[in-house]
Amino acid sequence: MSQLFRGPIVALTLLASGIPLAGCRTAIDPMAIADAQTAARVKTALVNDPTIGEFAIEVRVTGGVVVLSGRVRAQTDVTRAIELAQAVPGVTEVRPDLRVGGDAQAPPGPGDQAAPGIDSREIDSGQGLLAVGIAAGWSVPRATALKTRLAFSPLFKIGSPQGLGPAIGFDWFQADLTSMDDVVPITRVHVKPIMLGVGYTLTSARFSLTPSVVGGYAFNSLTVTDIGTARGLPVEVANSLVWRAGVSAWYNMTARTAVNASTGYLKTGLRLTVLEGGQLVERRARGDTTVVHVGLVYRLF
C-alpha cells in the first residue's frame, strides 16, 4: 500500500473501532456548561422584567456565583435585579457591581431605530431637555370678593436628574370679582405669572415628585362681565410681583408624554383702578390663592 494513503486509513480504522486519537479530543467542563446556562437564564429574567429590562446589565457566572455589572437609575433597581437573579435555579450567590445614576441606558433591541440625540427613555428618567403642554387649573382665593373659576395655562417640564434643579411655574388663574354686596360678579381678573426658582426632584421608574419655590412677575388684566354694574366698577389692574411654594407630581406614560398634577399657595397683591362716583380711585385687593393644576405635556427634545 502506498505510504500516501496508509496514515489516513489507519486513523479511520481506529476511529471506527472507538479508540480515541491523541490530540483530537477536547475536554468539556460540566461546570462551565452549567454556568453558561445559568447566565442565560439570569439574563432572560432581567430582560423580561418591565423595569430592569430597560438597562444594559452584564451577567457573569462562575461556579454558580452571579456578578451583575452596569448602571441603573435608582437603588431600588439594584434591589430588584438581585431579587430576579436569586430566583433563577442554579444561582448560589449574587454579587452586584451596579452603579446608580448617570446615563443608565438599555441596548437597542431588534428593529429599534435610534434617532440621533434622542433616547426613548429620557423622559422616564427625567433627562428629557424640554416638554411642553397645557394645564387646567382651579384657584381658591383668600379674599371673599374673589370667586373661583377654571383657567388654562401653559405647562413646561424641564429635564433634570434626581436632586436640586431649576423649576419653572406659570400657575395662571382667573377669578370673578364681586360687587360690594358680595353677590354680583362685576369683573373677571386674569392673573398670568411667569416664575422661575428651584426645586428638589425625587424619582422612581416613571414617577417623580418635585417640591419647589418659584417667584416672578404676573401680567394681570380685567374683563367686564355681561352683568357688570357701573357702581364701583374696576376698570384696570396693575401687574404685580408674585411667588409660589408648591409641589408637582409627574407620571411618564410613554417616552414622549407625561401627565402632571400640582398644587401650591400663590401670593400676590392686586392694585385695582376703580370707577366710583365718576372718579378713578385706586384700591388694593389680596390676590393670594391656593392653586391646583392638572395637565399633559409632550417632549420636544
- Sorted by sequence, the CB contacts under 8 Å of residue 267 that are 6+ apart come out as 242, 243, 244, 287, 288
| Cα–Cα distance measured from residue 146 to residue 175, given in angstroms and rounded to the nearest whole number | 6
| Cα–Cα distance measured from residue 179 to residue 187, given in angstroms and rounded to the nearest whole number | 9
**Predicted pLDDT at 231:** 58
Per-residue pLDDT at 232 exceeds 70: no
93-100 and 65-72 beta bridge pairing: parallel
Q: Average the pLDDT over 40-56 and give the result.
A: 90
Phi, psi dihedral angles at 9 (to 5 degrees) = -65, -40
Instruction: Provide the terminal-to-terminal Cα distance of the chain, rounded to the nearest Å.
Output: 80
What residues does 70 pair with on adjacent strands?
Answer: 98
Cα–Cα separations (whole angstroms), residue 144 to 182, 202, 221, 238, 284: 8, 36, 19, 20, 14
**Predicted pLDDT at 194:** 94
Domains assigned to the chain: 30-106 (3.30.1340.30), 130-299 (2.40.160.20)
- Residue 28's pLDDT band, with cuts at 50, 70 and 90, is low
pLDDT digits (tens, 9 = 90+) for 188-222: 889 999 999 999 988 887 888 999 999 999 999 98
| Cell (9 digits) for 10 | 489507519
Phi, psi dihedral angles at 84 (to 5 degrees) = -65, -40
pLDDT digits (tens, 9 = 90+) for 111-150: 444 333 333 334 444 456 788 999 999 988 988 778 888 8
| Cα–Cα distance measured from residue 28 to residue 39, given in angstroms and rounded to the nearest whole number | 18
Nearest to 147 by CA among 191, 193, 180, 185: 185
